[in-house]
Amino acid sequence: MFDCFFPDEIMDSSYDVDYEKLFADGFRGIIYDIDNTLVPHGFPADERAIKLFERLKSIGFKIMLLSNNKEGRVKMFNDAVNVQYIYKANKPAKSGYLKAMEKMGTNISTTVFIGDQLFTDVWGAKRCGIKNILVKPIDKHEEIQIVLKRRLEAIVLFFYYRKRKGKK
């Protein structure tokens, strides 16, 4: 019933992902959401994000920021990490994900998406067939519309964990 929203994987943080393993497994492109995935909502790239992006580039990844925000917000973050980006992506629409892969020169089997929301980030990636990793939001203080979505996400995650438990 909720399978279309179930993430491929759940991690505590974008900073906990084993990127070397992803690269060894054949992934070459990473698409990221920004807010509450890499930094708190509205924040510029911090030292931790800058170091992560330097590390990813040294591994050999191509990186794309995919955000529903306006260009000013995305550019502010990107000024410090210097990767490609798409703003006003209209996630979960497939077009932004497909455009991101085209710009990076990757495809669905070599791309992973990392984000903090089920109904935009994960669902959009799943609709395109891209491996996806759901991370826990960095900051618990969010706008009311996101708070309401988080309550719905909790229901979906309840069924996700119940299904996973049944497979063991």
Q: What is the pLDDT of residues 8-65, one digit of tens each?
A: 999 999 999 999 999 999 999 999 999 999 999 999 999 999 999 999 999 999 999 9
Confidence of residue 158 (pLDDT cuts 50, 70, 90): confident
117 burial via Cβ count (<10 Å: 0-12, 13-18, 19+): buried
pLDDT at 126: 96
| Residues with Cβ within 8 Å of residue 109, at least 6 apart in sequence | 26
**Of 77, 71, 128, the residue nearest 100 (C-alpha):** 128
Across 1-5, 49-53, 139-143, the highest mean pLDDT is recorded for 49-53
In angstroms, the Cα distances linking 127 to 11, 28, 136 are 20, 20, 21
**Of 104, 53, 157, the residue nearest 96 (C-alpha):** 104
Q: What is the pTM of this model?
A: 0.89
